[in-house]
Amino acid sequence: MGGLDRRAFNRLLFAGLPSGLALGCGRDSDPGDYTAEDAARLDQQIAAEAAQAGRGRFGALRFRGYRGLAELPWFELSPEGRLRTTAELPGIIDIHAHFGMDVYRPLDPTKRSERVRHLLDCDGADPGCDLDLDRYVNGNFTDAEHDALPREFLAGAFARGATQTHTAANLLAEMDDVGVAQAAILPIALSLPFAGSLTERWTRAIRDNGWGDRLLPFASVDPNDDDAPEKLRAYAAAGAQGVKLHPEMQRFFADAPGAMAVYAVCEELDLPVVFHAGRSGIEPERIRKFALMRRYEPAVSSFPNVRFVFGHGGARDLERAIPIAQAHRNVWLGISSLGVSQIDQALRALGPDRLVFGSDWPFYHLAVTLAKILIVTRGDTGARDALLRGSAETLLA
């Protein structure tokens, strides 16, 4: 490992584990302003969500695993047991997907597997896990499953474990199963010694394999890095179509000077920004300060010509994200991970043109977000088509 012993690697890689691909490998640059009120609000939201799940206007929505979604009228199981859609859909654009985080030993992007082992794998046993679509998605998994993620990431850094199945070829096959036409591929710039650039590797794989019509390469830079603006210009010249930033994982505040310098380049080059935004509830408390929604508002207000996506819709801080999006037309909410009642709340507040489809693959099956949208928009094909494709076309234009 180039002189980096495994214990040191573990300390760097697993200092914290936010949702999505949050490995917690940046640095604390500011004590922040995380208050007792902030902590209490998150606890209250999680408790209220658990108590209210299934009691809203959509009723109970519980299934046995991802494959259990075949009970819905829009899905079926293939003879091989793969979940696939039977619905006529407009060619979905997924604004929030990743490949395996193979930071030290590259995966073969063309390799196919019999099935994908999602990082939070609701089909890992038979019958599958108890999947409740009316909860924030990580609420469907046990503390033990959350606690296992660091070990999975360590294996994945060397292309082992579940990450071996998180290839471009497997993503494309799952996209075909459920009607996803295109997916934005979001790397995250990691502050790890000797790590390769996921942006460069993933962009090259997409280009060399002729996947550019379906897989849209995004870039990531570390706003703590003084060279981030120039790196971003180089990535854009190589074909990057947008930027992914993760304040929790990269340990920066969205309104910090280094981040503002990155947004200035995005404005210059007309690149959209996909944030991880808001707290998921499974990350260590000491890094939650970086995801507080009040730190994003100065960014979106200072750069009204930059298109921003709040990934996960602000996660469990949705109620703080919605007013920011209402006040700033350059903000979209990504709906990966939100429960059906949360998606319905955002839809009523903002309309379908300000919400974009996201899956957070390979954490979850692509069909999870799709099922929720089809439930929430049942009988309203205009809203359905906007959520699945139209709003993303506007964002990416």
pLDDT, mean of residues 205-227: 97
Domain count along the chain:
1
Residue 297 near residue 324, CB atoms below 8 Å = yes
In a domain, 378, yes or no: yes
C-beta neighbour count of 296 within 10 angstroms: 27
> What percent of the chain clears pLDDT 90, i.e. is strictly above it?
85
List the domain range (segments joined by +) for residue 28: 6-396
pLDDT, mean of residues 91-117: 96
Task: Write the single-letter amino acid at 125.
Answer: A
Residue in this structure with the two tokens 């394999």, named with its chain if needed: 209
In a domain, 94, yes or no: yes
pLDDT greater than 50 at residue 221:
yes
In a domain, 1, yes or no: no
CATH code for position 316: 3.20.20.140
Grade residue 32 by pLDDT with cuts at 50, 70 and 90: low
Task: Write the single-letter amino acid at 236.
Answer: A
pLDDT for 153 equals 81
pTM over 0.75: yes
In a domain, 150, yes or no: yes
Neighbour-count burial of 226, counting CB atoms closer than 10 A to its CB (0-12 exposed, 13-18 middle, 19+ buried): exposed
pLDDT, mean of residues 93-102: 96
pLDDT, mean of residues 284-298: 95
Residue 386 near residue 352, CB atoms below 8 Å = yes
Q: Which residues contact 81 (CB under 8 A, 6 or more apart)?
A: 67, 115
- Per-residue tokens: 135: 């909860």
